[in-house]
Amino acid sequence: MPDIRHQDAHAGVALKAAFEGIDHWIFDLDNTLYPAECNLFRQIDARMASFIEARLGLGAPESRRLQKDYYVRYGTTLNGLMHEHDVPPEDFLSFVHDIDLSVVARNDRLAALIGDLPGRKFVFTNGTLAHAENVIDRLGLDGAFDDIVDIVASGYAPKPHGTAYRRFIDRVGALPEKSAMFEDIAINLQEPSFLGMRTVLVASEADWMADEPSDRRPARKSHVGELDYIHHVTDDLAAFLGGIAPAGAEEPEWRQT
């Protein structure tokens, strides 16, 4: 099956080997650390359209069209609103992150697996620090990360723009060739791969971003494609991390699930 490459017959040993020496682990937040199917980001997506409707006085269809046009052209909807309409980023970000986090379930297994990874761990998100901290708290991942690099820390330069990654690397001091990055949006892994990072696409069955280009929306399991900058694909982040964990790192109870 091409959609879950890490489960290929001989992949177990090869997979561990592919991550040997990695000591910087970089995780996207939304739809990566929690499953896209919980629809948390769908709430954010809808809030973005509502913000545009109210701020620009547009109808719903035109707001949605503009939202996705800016997303594709500027990397984030916010970046387009800042450039084209001088929208204060704080107004937008506080509005779109006012959401119901109860749909995000605690994930103790993921916390244990991230805790066992050797080296430093980071969240690198186009969202805000406050949103990241809220989600991390819901997941039970408090204390799991050495740093959270948000869109403000990135100077509002979003992934997939190269500036965002350069600022990230400068801030945390990561060596790309000793770094691995996990993301649900394929295009956000292009620059990391170019820089020398190992890339993991976290796919899902979420289908609520059908009006976004396939490499810019949460990746479907069927959308592995032939993208040479995607080194690994999984639909279960915790299972994937379990597969690359050093021998004995996982608690036995996790292996039974």
Question: Judging by beta carbons within 10 Å of its beta carbon (0-12, 13-18, 19+), is residue 23 exposed, middle or buried?
Answer: middle
Segment contacting Mg ion (CB under 5 A): 113-121, 134-142, 163-171, 184-192?
Answer: 184-192
Touching Mg ion, residues 28-87 (CB under 5 A): 28, 30-32
Touching Mg ion, residues 17-36 (CB under 5 A): 28, 30-32
Instruction: Find tokens 């090869």 and name the residue.
Output: 14
**Closer residue to Mg ion, CB minimum distance, 179 or 188:** 188
Distance CA 128, CA 149 (A): 9
Using the rule CB under 5 A, is 234 a contact of Mg ion? no
**Closer residue to Mg ion, CB minimum distance, 30 or 235:** 30
What lies within 8 Å, CB to CB, of 64 at 6+ separation is 49, 211
Number of residues forming the site for Mg ion (CB under 5 A): 5
Segment contacting Mg ion (CB under 5 A): 57-65, 152-160, 166-174, 177-185?
Answer: 177-185
Q: What is the torsional sign of CA 218, 221, 226, 230?
A: positive
Distance CA 168, CA 166 (A): 5
State which of residues 184, 191, 215, 235 lies at the interface with Mg ion (CB under 5 A).
184
Task: Kindly state the smallest distance separating residue 255's Cβ from Mg ion, in Å.
Answer: 28
**Closer residue to Mg ion, CB minimum distance, 227 or 250:** 227
**Closer residue to Mg ion, CB minimum distance, 174 or 186:** 186
Task: Kindly state the smallest distance separating residue 125's Cβ from Mg ion, in Å.
Answer: 7
**Closer residue to Mg ion, CB minimum distance, 41 or 70:** 41
Task: Kindly state the smallest distance separating residue 31's Cβ from Mg ion, in Å.
Answer: 4
Strands ordered across the beta sheet of 120-124: 147-149, 120-124, 24-27, 179-183, 198-202, 232-234
**Closer residue to Mg ion, CB minimum distance, 30 or 191:** 30
Distance CA 167, CA 173 (A): 10
Tokens representing residue 162 in the block: 């190269």
Task: Kindly state the smallest distance separating residue 96's Cβ from Mg ion, in Å.
Answer: 14
Distance CA 226, CA 40 (A): 29
Report CA-CA distances (Å) from 3 to 38, 182, 188, 226: 21, 16, 18, 11
Task: Kindly state the smallest distance separating residue 184's Cβ from Mg ion, in Å.
Answer: 4
**Closer residue to Mg ion, CB minimum distance, 127 or 243:** 127
What residues pair up with 200 in beta bridges, in sequence order?
A: 182, 232
Task: Kindly state the smallest distance separating residue 10's Cβ from Mg ion, in Å.
Answer: 30
- Sites of contact with Mg ion (CB under 5 A): 28, 30-32, 184
